[in-house]
Structure 1
Amino acid sequence: MSPATLMPATLTPADLLARLVGFPTVVGQPNGALIEDVARYLRAHGAEVTVLAGPEGDRSNLFASFGPKDVPGIVLSGHVDVVPATEPEWRADPFVLRREGDRLIGRGACDMKGFVAAVLAAAPAMGRMALRAPLHIALSYDEEAGCKGVPHLLDALPALCAPPEGAIIGEPTGLVPVLAHKGKAALRLSAKGRSGHSSRPDLGQNAIQRLVPVLARICAQAEALTRGPQDARFAPPYSSVQIGTICGGQAVNIIPDFAEAQIEARAIAGVSPKAILQEVLVDLPEGVSLDWLSEYPALALAPEAPLARLAETLTGRAAQGAVSFGTEAGLFQQAGIAAIVCGPGDIARAHKPEEYLTLSELEGTCAMLSSLIDRQAV
């Protein structure tokens, strides 16, 4: 299905997923065509829609409401960006959804356009029914770059609706409600040196070697964290730090004049991932600079919280304590909105060739949302 034409008013959930996958909204790239199409579709079903342009100028969040906005409601939240699909193992165009048996295959089908498709499929019912409490739809951009888009949406939320009762973030959890996840911070270290022939190191400055003392401290911190605070809900049960990328130099006989490394920390609930990194980044060597790339907090929702009980009722599944991957849920909670992670699919399929969601998983999400609509109805 080509996204070039306008989205029809009524589509099946699988049709909607095909529509969404057809927009190649790779992280860091424009998403305007998808957002405009979804906005038009939701308005056709009676939603009040606000498109919130991000500071980048070519990417936007979307917030839509059904029902009275002056009382607390439930936010259904998903990101519409996807990771690149350049792997050679794709057996067909990753941005054209195809069906093989029960599998709906395409980039973003599982992470997380499947949830968004189910939400859009529920929009006609949201528009038809008299709701005593609202249902909101929040779509964000650049989640895959460290949750960069949703903070702008959350900043605008007080002007768009009453403080929400809670938010369901539909990342793939097999429709099992998840109460907690780790937080993350990422940074880039850059070192400048002075080039020259390697036979005269005394006349140059080696940028790679300038980074080495800092990287050594990070490696030591990684080991120390295994003996630090523990939370058995997570795997591993401790916070972690790793050097994810490193580059620099041109040839073995040239003194490198530039080097760069990217580092991330993932922290259990109650621990700041940024603070983990700051502990070992004091007194940077001369010529080494630091740029923070992203940061989002951990999520920690109490098992007895009303939102947790609601999610268990809607899904018929007991809540899971925690997952180690991160989501936008921690940012919703930081903004004062109770949040839980619950969506279709398996995170193990995400960011891989032949990513898929099953038709039964999509239909199960639609059933969950139907129950939620009934709960919000007069």
Structure 2
Amino acid sequence: TRPVLLIPTDKRSIPQSLVSVLFGLASILLLLLVIDAVAKGRAGHAARNEGDNALLKAVNDIQALYATRFEKVSPFLGPVSLNVTVIETENKAHNVVPDSCRFVIDVRLNECYSHEEVLELLQGRVQSTLAPRSCRLRSTLIPETHPLVQAGLALGRSTYGSPTSSDKALMPFPALKIGPGDSARSHTADEYIHLHEIREGIQLYIQLLTHPA
């Protein structure tokens, strides 16, 4: 079968004869769940110890989130992990107790949990209100028996679960995430890829697509 170059547009443009796809991304899929959290308090004057500090409520909830343990561990993706990446209040004055505090939770799930399960579990641990930004990026898995995977194994490659999200999660067909470069360089100030990595990646793609099933 002759390889086809796909430019992501919509599902209607996908050839019906498509059996598998190589998804090029630095990969030297945990699904992603981003949660917006809001802790509510009551404003007051800091000098008089008035109000109910929403910032302290948020801090207590963040501690509870980090203490949460997820028992189901994936053999490919490992355990669920979370990190609080943003915290802020609308308060601009130094002497006012904030009545609201917002923070963002970045959760990386494995295939053992759904978005809804994790959200319900975390909401039960905190007083803040949790709201998911989106539930469309879900965990994906290509069977180890798939010809693409078997070709990679025959070429001396190994399989593992990628801890970063990608458009692969949106593809309604078997897809293998593999690409040149080191994912650890992604989103760094001096992000780069070596020319020899690109050359090796092109050669590997050709070998995967032409390897006998």
Q: Tell me the TM-score normalized by structure 1.
A: 0.48
Distance in 2 (alpha carbons) for counterparts of 1:258 and 1:252 = 15
Please state how far the C-alpha of 1:273 moved relative to its aligned partner. 4.4
1:137 is matched with: 6
**Partner SS, residue 135 of structure 1:** coil
2:113 is matched with: 271
Amino acid at match of 1:219: Y
2:131 is matched with: 291
Distance in 2 (alpha carbons) for counterparts of 1:362 and 1:273 = 35
| CA contact 1:190–1:260 (8 Å) conserved in 2 | yes
1:308 maps to 2:149: yes
Distance in 2 (alpha carbons) for counterparts of 1:190 and 1:282 = 14
**Partner SS, residue 215 of structure 1:** helix
- Once the two structures are superposed, residues 114-168 of structure 1 have per-residue CA deviations (whole angstroms, 9 ceiling, x without a partner) of xxxxxxxxxxxxxxxxxx54513235xxxxxxxxxxxxx4xx3135431631222
1:255 maps to 2:97: yes
Amino acid at match of 2:4: L
Please state how far the C-alpha of 1:192 moved relative to its aligned partner. 4.6
Aligned pairs for 1:13-32 (under 5 A) are none
Deviates more, 1:184-193 or 1:249-258: 249-258
**Partner SS, residue 164 of structure 2:** coil
Alignment gaps of 5+ in structure 2: none
1:353 maps to 2:166: no
Distance in 2 (alpha carbons) for counterparts of 1:273 and 1:372 = 33
1:182 is matched with: 30
1:206 maps to 2:53: yes
Please state how far the C-alpha of 1:312 moved relative to its aligned partner. 4.7
| CA contact 1:169–1:343 (8 Å) conserved in 2 | yes
- Greater relative contact order structure (CA < 8 Å, 6+ sep): 2
- Structure 2 counterpart of 1:326, from 156, 162, 165: 165
Alignment gaps of 5+ in structure 1: 1-131, 140-152, 175-180
Higher helix share: 1
**Aligned length in residues:** 209
**Partner SS, residue 351 of structure 1:** coil
Amino acid at match of 1:267: L
| CA contact 2:64–2:125 (8 Å) conserved in 1 | no
Q: 1:274 to 1:197 in 2, by over 3 A?
A: same
Distance in 2 (alpha carbons) for counterparts of 1:303 and 1:199 = 63
2:177 is matched with: 341
Deviates more, 1:207-216 or 1:296-305: 207-216
Amino acid at match of 1:364: E
Amino acid at match of 1:263: I
Please state how far the C-alpha of 1:231 moved relative to its aligned partner. 3.2
Please state how far the C-alpha of 1:360 moved relative to its aligned partner. 1.4
| CA contact 1:265–1:273 (8 Å) conserved in 2 | no
Percent of aligned pairs with the same residue?
Answer: 20
Q: 1:369 to 1:302 in 2, by over 3 A?
A: closer
Please state how far the C-alpha of 1:284 moved relative to its aligned partner. 6.8
- Once the two structures are superposed, residues 245-298 of structure 1 have per-residue CA deviations (whole angstroms, 9 ceiling, x without a partner) of 22224455321133111112212222224522321214974xx54432344222
1:365 maps to 2:206: no
Aligned pairs for 1:37-52 (under 5 A) are none
1:230 is matched with: 73
1:95 is matched with: none
1:215 is matched with: 62
Q: 1:207 to 1:300 in 2, by over 3 A?
A: same
Distance in 2 (alpha carbons) for counterparts of 1:302 and 1:369 = 19
**Partner SS, residue 280 of structure 1:** helix
Amino acid at match of 2:88: C
The RMSD of aligned alpha carbons is 3.0
2:45 is matched with: 197
Q: 1:284 to 1:324 in 2, by over 3 A?
A: closer
